[in-house]
Structure 1
Amino acid sequence: MLINDQLLNTVTGQAKASSRLRMNFNLHDSLDAKAQRLLNALEPGTVLPVHRHRETAETYIVLRGSIKVLFYNDDKVLTAEFLIDPNEKEYGIHIPSGQWHTLEVLESGTVIFEVKDGPYAPLQPEDILEPKT
């Protein structure tokens, strides 16, 4: 499968039409796959809770657009912010397992390539954090 503008535009169109303002395009064969590889088209305003993956690290590579990735500690305090923007020569980020994180989408049409160990495991309530405001 070729990952090109046509595919990114298709997934972006689906994200824009979604009430969640995001859409995955899975590259893995099943939710049981040992490696979860996907395109994630994201639009500004999509809401991703602060969360962690206790059993797996996660890597984002921005194919187009830009995001801000936010890290938090167990006390719900923001500890780091990273601008991921290929135009600024910042292409991606590796998020260690157990790290509380979220992202903010900065540009319409943003698409990231995302990888984490499988099988897919839905977030549990104890893996979602309400940050301090």
Structure 2
Amino acid sequence: MKLDKQLFEQIAVKAAQSPRLRMHYDLRDSEEENGQRMLNVLLPGTKSAIHRHTDTSEVVVCIYGSAIERFYDEQGNETEMVVMKAGSETPGVWIEQGLYHSLEATDEMGVIFEAKAHKYNPETTEQKYKTQS
């Protein structure tokens, strides 16, 4: 199977129908695989909540277009912003386990490859940032 523009555009149709304006495409061999490998098509306007992964690091590589990864400290202050662009000097990032981050689209469609250890578990995989009251 080719990971090409035709596939990206097919996934983008589904992303446009999603309120989140993004759609993932599973690249694992089976649901039993102990890890996560996927494409994620990001349309302009999408942004993930600030979150962290407490049980694994994460690799994000932009393979088409561009995307923005933002990093935050424990108080929710932005500490760094990385614009990832396919084919550039900075096409991707490695996100250290436990580091708060968010992902957002630029003004063009972006396609990222994401990889994490462990199966997805909605209870433990992502811990959203909670603001102080």
TM, length-normalised to structure 2: 0.88
Amino acid at match of 1:93: V
Map of 1:43 onto structure 2? 43
Cα distance in 2 between the residues matched to 1:27 and 1:51:
23
SS of the equivalent of 1:56 reads coil
- 1:109 has 2:105 as partner: no
Cα distance in 1 between the residues matched to 2:60 and 2:53:
14
Cα distance in 2 between the residues matched to 1:94 and 1:22:
21
Cα distance in 1 between the residues matched to 2:77 and 2:96:
17
1:32–1:120: 8 Å Cα contact kept in structure 2?
no
Gaps of 5+ in 1: none
Map of 1:27 onto structure 2? 27
Q: After the TM superposition, which parts of structure 1 deviate over 6 Å for at least 4 consecutive aligned residues?
A: none
Cα distance in 1 between the residues matched to 2:123 and 2:93:
20
1:77–1:131: 8 Å Cα contact kept in structure 2?
no
Change (3 A) 1:80 1:10: same
Root-mean-square deviation (Å): 2.0
**Higher helix fraction (1 or 2):** 1
- 1:64 has 2:64 as partner: yes
1:65–1:107: 8 Å Cα contact kept in structure 2?
no
Amino acid at match of 1:26: D
Gaps of 5+ in 2: none
Using the aligned pairs only, state the percent identity.
34
Shift of 1:87: 5.2
Map of 1:85 onto structure 2? 85
